[in-house]
Amino acid sequence: MNCRMEPIQREQVIAKYLSRALDADAVEEFEGHYLGCDECFDELRLSKRMAAELRRSNLTWKRNGGISVLQFSRAAELTHSADELDQLRREVLEQSDTRVIIDLSRVTRIDSAGLGQLMSCYSHLVRNQGALKVVNVTPEVKKVMDMTGISSLIRAFSNEQEAVKSFN
């Protein structure tokens, strides 16, 4: 394995190694070089740290007056290829709470897959005598929710306190 290869090519090899996509011979060659070369070992260690950070959940959960509030800790997209979409679905469908607020203030984009997951969460909660409310909806997301009619089913509030009060 040549540590003097182009940076993009080197990153591609590291990514394949971290995702276990190299064959046995390539793994042996990779580890033989990267684990013995201080410069490359540092790069590998930083790449592992970055990969772990990217896998870290972007969704935080808290309780407010007996209601679950989900919020994204950094910018998020609710699109077919976004990890946040799976995190959101799991959080709502796997918990026992039936009263849920989702803070969409950091959601920059939503597509049909994201809308479908919101509706799946909504349906799950309604079937269990609960409700889903959204707060701090960005103008871009609001426009899509209005155009599709989802905003007539999932009530949006300007802040968390208004949404909490609406449950009573």
pLDDT tens-digit series, residues 3-49:
677 777 877 887 788 778 888 888 888 888 877 888 777 777 777 77
Query: Are β-strands 131-135 and 99-103 bridged in parallel, bridged antiparallel, or unpaired?
Result: parallel
Kindly tell me if the per-residue pLDDT of 121 is higher than 70: yes
pLDDT value at position 85? 73
Residue 118 and residue 161 in one domain = yes
pTM beyond 0.85: no
Higher pLDDT, 80 or 63: 63
Q: Domain containing 122: what range?
A: 59-166
Tally the domains of the chain.
2
More confident residue, 23 or 87: 23
Question: Residue 47 has what pLDDT?
Answer: 77
Answer yes or no: is pLDDT of 95 > 70. yes
**Is residue 31 domain-resident?**
yes
Instruction: Indicate the angle between helix axes 7-18 and 24-34, nearest 10 degrees.
Output: 120
pLDDT in the model for residue 54: 59
pLDDT at 56 over 70: no
Quick one: 72 and 120 in the same domain? yes
* Position 109 in a domain: yes
Whether 72 and 137 map to the same domain: the answer is yes
88 and 29, same structural domain? no
Q: What is the CATH number of the domain that holds 95?
A: 3.30.750.24
Residues 34, 97 within the same domain: no
DSSP 61-104: EEEETTEEEEEESS-EEESTT-HHHHHHHHHHHHSS--EEEEE-
Domain boundary among 31, 55, 79: 55
For residue 74, pLDDT over 90 is answered with no
Residue 42 placed within a domain: yes
* Type of residue numbered 17: Y
Residue 119 and residue 44 in one domain: no
Q: Quote the mean pLDDT of the chain.
A: 86
